[in-house]
Structure 1
Amino acid sequence: MRARTPFTVFRVVALTVVVLTLIAPLVWMVAASLKTNVDIYDPGKALAFTPTLENYTKVLQQANYVDFIVNSLWIAFASTVLSLLIGVPAAYSMSRFAMRRSALVVLMARVIPAVSLLVPWYYVFSNLKMVGGFSVLILSHMFVALPLIVYIMMGYFDGLPLELEESALVDGLTPIGAFRRITLPLSTPGIATAGILSFIFSWNNFMFALVLSGADTKTLPVAIFDFVGYASIDWGGLMAASTVVTVPIMVIALFAQKYVVSGLTAGATKG
């Protein structure tokens, strides 16, 4: 017990430092969103201040942020659903039929910096008169979401016993029926993981929406820029808008963490 005591103390101290490092910016952001701009610049009111909801009122009523929230939800939902509809069957095919070259192409698409594609995308989509619409944002988000979903689901399908599908074929099911009635229900944690990560990426994405969105399709991360002016920054409104962007993702991650952990570790012990 004496030998283990120093390690226990070190572990507690290390965990405390890591947790405080991660939480401190979030706490400061939420606290700043409840202050006026004068209080934010006053070091004496870092902890003792009178809370106000003025910044949230400005964000939700005066800045039309409800429309931006709807835009972000629609783009994230549509890109995630479409990516799952395409990516899950593709990952199953690559896993069961050993399509290693296709898997290599997916992996290459996964590691390509997305910023390198923005200029060609803008050129192509502008010639097609698609820039500023929802379709171009959904397609651009799918380019990153699809490789992520295929990468996660391939590992998950690799970890599922092939004997289950063979038994279903013996019982009279077709290969598609075995996939739909046996493999797909068993892969729910992996699908949940891929869907959650894809939704989070789309919700937080700033770069694609900044270049490809229009006035009517602006998303929340881009709308935050409205509080950054040429000569000054509305820190209260900026922190309130950032809180509106961050809180939904934190709630989703909190309630879906068990699916994310189980999905990301699937296939790790295969063989």
Structure 2
Amino acid sequence: MSTDTAQARGRRIVPVYAGYLVAALVFFGPVVFMLWSAFRRNVDITGSIFDITTPLTLGNFTNLFERFAFVYYIRNSFVIAGGSTLLGLILGVPAAYVIVRRRLASVGFLTLLARMAPGVMFVLPLFVLSVNIGAPSNTGLNFLLLIAAHLIITLPLCIWLLIPFFEDIPISLEEAAMLDGCSVIQRFRNVVLPLALPGLSVAVTLSFIFSWNFFLFALALANNDTLPLPVIAFNFIGQGASDYGGLMAASALISLPAFLLTIFAQRWLVRGLTGGAVK
């Protein structure tokens, strides 16, 4: 009887692991192919896609820094994505708190509409604004405009990611702090924020990744001094020929900061859960 039970259990487990394998191939297969192709010559990528005997090279990465001022484009991406994420948190954290405590669901829904709207809807007004304020010829203004444009992505995301975390914090904790003489700002800083650390880590991670990868606003609004990495990667694709090796190397470098931030945020998420626990 035990043997039959083990065989039946094994037959049930096989489809489950087969599904895991298919999901892994779908999600991780393109990533593995990108990393592998980043170290291959362009002729090998186009001529023998799955030939594992082809030699590996660092030429694609060296060409990136020889052909382009790649360090400056990395800096530009960090300025735009980091600035919009930081500003989105500064505005989004108190906004989400007020929406929860004042029960302003309609205000939260309006912010969600901005996130649901297609990005191309904002491009023309932002471009007209850019021309009127002289942003195309002013690097500082251009950075500020790009950061403000990316707030359309990061601010609604921060608000809607943090609302459930604030809703889970009992109001009784704030009432107890109020009885101890804490002001509204003190209650928010010393009671609410430590308990919302997991939500903050998720909001920072997703906001940065969405802003880092967003292509449209930079393509339409950035000048030569403020171009971020996604727009530069577009230069590897042309009508006559395409540098697939360079494109894969650029894609790997573009993905690296988001990947590292995700790993860091995962550890921070655990620390936030234990540090904000109610004893």
Query: Does TM, scored on the shorter chain, surpass 0.5?
Result: yes
SS at match of 1:256: helix
Which residue matches 1:269? Answer: none
Amino acid at match of 2:248: M
User: Take 1:191 and 1:185, find their aligned partners in 2: how far apart are those partners?
Assistant: 10
User: Take 1:116 and 1:123, find their aligned partners in 2: how far apart are those partners?
Assistant: 13
Runs of 4+ residues deviating >3 angstroms: 257-263
User: Take 2:169 and 2:50, find their aligned partners in 1: how far apart are those partners?
Assistant: 56
CA RMSD of aligned residues (A): 1.9
Which residue matches 2:125? Answer: 120
User: Take 1:103 and 1:253, find their aligned partners in 2: how far apart are those partners?
Assistant: 26
**Within 5 A, what are the aligned runs for 1:31-180?**
31-43=36-48, 46-131=51-136, 133-180=142-189
C-alpha displacement of 1:252: 2.0
Amino acid at match of 1:171: D
Amino acid at match of 1:63: F
Amino acid at match of 1:91: A
User: Take 2:113 and 2:269, find their aligned partners in 1: how far apart are those partners?
Assistant: 23
Amino acid at match of 1:97: R
User: Take 1:249 and 1:157, find their aligned partners in 2: how far apart are those partners?
Assistant: 26
Matched, 1:206 2:215: yes
Q: Note if contact 1:190-1:259 (Cα within 8 Å) is conserved in structure 2.
A: no
Provide TM-score, normalisation by structure 1.
Answer: 0.91
Amino acid at match of 2:93: V
Which residue matches 2:194? Answer: 185
How many residues of Structure 1 are paired with residues of Structure 2 in the alignment?
Answer: 263
Q: Provide Cα deviations, 1:198-222, integer angstroms capped at 9, x if missing partner.
A: 1111111111111111100000000
- Stretch deviating more after TM superposition (166-175 or 36-45): 36-45
Q: Provide Cα deviations, 1:167-222, integer angstroms capped at 9, x if missing partner.
A: 00001111221111111111111111111111111111111111111100000000
Amino acid at match of 1:202: S
Which residue matches 1:267? Answer: none
User: Take 2:198 and 2:227, find their aligned partners in 1: how far apart are those partners?
Assistant: 32
2:18 counterpart (13, 22, 30):
13
Q: Note if contact 1:190-1:262 (Cα within 8 Å) is conserved in structure 2.
A: no
- Stretch deviating more after TM superposition (40-49 or 253-262): 253-262
Q: Note if contact 2:233-2:251 (Cα within 8 Å) is conserved in structure 1.
A: yes
Which residue matches 1:22? Answer: 27
Which residue matches 2:277? Answer: none
User: Take 1:41 and 1:103, find their aligned partners in 2: how far apart are those partners?
Assistant: 49
Which residue matches 1:230? Answer: 239
Q: What are structure 1's unaligned runs of at least 5 residues? A: 264-271
Q: What are structure 2's unaligned runs of at least 5 residues? A: 273-279
